[in-house]
Structures are given as C-alpha cells and as structure tokens.
C-alpha cells in the first residue's frame, strides 16, 4: 500500500481500495484532461478522467468488466467495470473521421474482459501522418457516482499501472 500511496499522492493509504482502481490501458505520457484540445473532454462534459499520449498502438482492458460498446469506427470503446465504473477510452481527437481505417478491434460488444486483455490496436504512425492528435482520453462517464476521481501523479504510464483511483 505504501507504493500505491506514493503513486497516487495520498497521505492515508488506508483509504485506497484496489477494487476502485482503473489501470492504464496504454503506454505513454499522462496529460491532464484539461489540456486535451477538445472542449467535450477538457471541460469534462462526458465525465472526469485523464488522458494519455500513446507511444504504442495497443489498448488493453483497464479493469475486469464487460464491453458495452466498441464504436463502429473502432476508435473508442466503452467498458462497464465489475466495480461499477463506466469507462470510455477514446483513441485520438476527431479520429471518428477515419471511419475505422488504421484501427482494429479485438473484442465485441457484450464480451467479458479481464484487466490487461487486448481491446484495440491502431497504427500510431499512419494516424499521426494523417495529421490526427492521438491523445487518448480515459473517462469515467459515471463520475457523479464517486466523491472523487483521482488521476495518477506519474508523468509516464505503462499497461497495468494505476491510472485512476475512484473514491466512493
């Protein structure tokens, strides 16, 4: 728990519950949601969360749960976590315009997933070359169900690192 305390910047590690954690679905640089160049995300219209600028084109499950929706364009996925959190992973800004090009889904709606299962892959270089920003918001769309949605204090994350702690 001391490591979790340090990662999340808590003074009292007894309040940290591992079943209320969302783990990083990506490898990359952590960015505050307020810095995302899209008001829907930066103004938390869809919920609270954090963003990651991916360095690898792989999205894994951030928790155990059920796939509610893989967007037709494969640029986003919605997961209902076993702990009750509803998580949106949205790979890139305005990438819906690619209509699925350079994205591949490895899951389908209604599938059960375990933390670390491969959800999506995408061609990072091709998408960047087309001029798209690949910053990826990870949103807890039912943020109102929690007292707080606390993001990691780390600058870089890899798959499985604690990304968000939900406090009931």
75, 90, 102, 159: the active-site residue: 90
Q: Can you list the alpha helix ranges (DSSP code H) found in the chain?
A: 2-8, 39-42, 124-129
Beta strands in 21-93 (DSSP E): 21-23, 28-32, 48-54, 58-60, 65-70, 76-81, 86-90
24 class by beta-carbon count within 10 Å (0-12 exposed, 13-18 middle, 19+ buried): buried
Burial (Cβ within 10 Å: 0-12, 13-18, ≥19) of residue 162: buried
Catalytic annotation on 90?
A: yes
| DSSP assignment letter at 126 | H
Contact 92, 75 (CB under 8 A): yes
Residues with a catalytic annotation lie at 90
């Amino acid at each position: 728990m001391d490591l979790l305390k340090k990662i999340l910047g808590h003074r009292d590690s007894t309040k940290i519950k591992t079943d209320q954690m969302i783990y990083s679905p990506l490898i990359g640089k952590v960015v505050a949601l307020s810095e995302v160049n899209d008001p829907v995300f930066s103004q938390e219209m869809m919920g609270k969360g954090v963003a990651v600028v991916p360095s690898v084109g792989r999205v894994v499950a951030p928790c155990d749960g059920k796939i509610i929706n893989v967007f037709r364009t494969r640029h986003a996925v919605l997961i209902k976590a076993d702990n009750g959190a509803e998580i949106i992973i949205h790979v890139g800004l305005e990438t819906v315009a690619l209509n699925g090009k350079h994205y591949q889904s490895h899951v389908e709606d209604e599938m059960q997933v375990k933390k670390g299962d491969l959800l999506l892959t995408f061609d990072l270089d091709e998408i960047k070359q087309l001029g798209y920003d690949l910053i990826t918001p990870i949103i807890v769309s039912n943020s109102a169900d929690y007292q707080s949605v606390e993001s990691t204090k780390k600058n870089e994350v890899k798959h499985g690192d604690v990304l968000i702690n939900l406090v009931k």
